[in-house]
Structure 1
């Protein structure tokens, strides 16, 4: 037993010594928190400490999470180099202290695609129209967005147009990339709660629909908008009765337009 114990101790020591031979030869920092997720959420993928001597977390234990990159480091050992990301874990339940270094080959860009468990994601980091559509289709915070999109059954969701809407862009900004821009101020106001009152998604939808009707865009005309694209941004907070959060710095609303190209 003593011999086995001694062998185990020496082996662990030698493994630690070998791992500590990793050298940082290059570091790059980032100003934006680009999200990544595991290519294979069922695979053992470890976050390491800076010296690559200790496993801190296993990504397999956080299958619904995504990981934001703060910096990239190039590690060298025995004349071989590998690029690692220093990441912070973002979980649906806000699990703290998920930090570490992970080989970049284990990750792929974008949010975790299981949007059923996610709310309030930054619109800037969706990868495509399809990605943003999946979020709207699945996220609990997008109930109103789904209802509004149904008012325009033949308009295709556009991430680019949605970003312009969220940024509170001017008509001139829209016209640089789109034509026949349809923005109805009263419809966009209806995404918000009136002062001192919380309105439900259905109440907001009725007000949005009424605003378009008043502008001459009834359901028949809305359904005839073939070849148009639609941009939308809205986030609700289920914990506060569906109140729109004003803290993210974006504007709620919907815009319909034709792309120039």
Structure 2
């Protein structure tokens, strides 16, 4: 590890910040188009309150990340740039919507990572994670839609990998409701909640997606009154929300660099699993 002092006149936003960066080759670069993972999801470090996004030529400030507190950022390209004899890694990024694009110093951002239910051993640790992790912001809105249903690690683990080729198998639960397969009624949209929220709307703003889920629920008879009455149901959720999922990596894997690496980073995970069930 080396100490990198960010003090580039007229370019760096923090003139007195010292950060630690991995040693990186001067010819380091990352190109999402050449990477099997595609764009790599990042989020602003919790300690960063302000940071400029520049035009690609690094001559004009065009945005400040402080004005986009709810956005994640997708790194499409990275390279080492040298200014005033000091080198640093810069990212070409785009926002959730794709409307905000530009160049930013890598030190402002950190990988957006998520955990699968299978990575937890206790209910309490799972609940803490679901209530605090940035990647679970949409999941928290789903939980609010079922205020009296209890979040269950066990059900979340059982339903984590359910799909058309791997049907749900359990002798513990009954009255199982696969919320993810519900579709809207009365319009031309034929996509299920999982397909819409994890596909067309993946990685987007939280509120529109939560509103969509609520509307589809109500289309299918799950009114607020009905949802409030489901206190005897458990809730199983697995929603990485476009983060990279650590269980998708090899066992005991750890990143060798804070920067995106074509031979290490995995793809974004947009899976949406939402199940309700009662104990037998």
TM-score (norm 2): 0.46
Higher helix share: 1
Give the number of the structure with larger relative contact order, counting CA–CA contacts within 8 Å between residues 6 or more apart.
2
TM-score (norm 1): 0.48
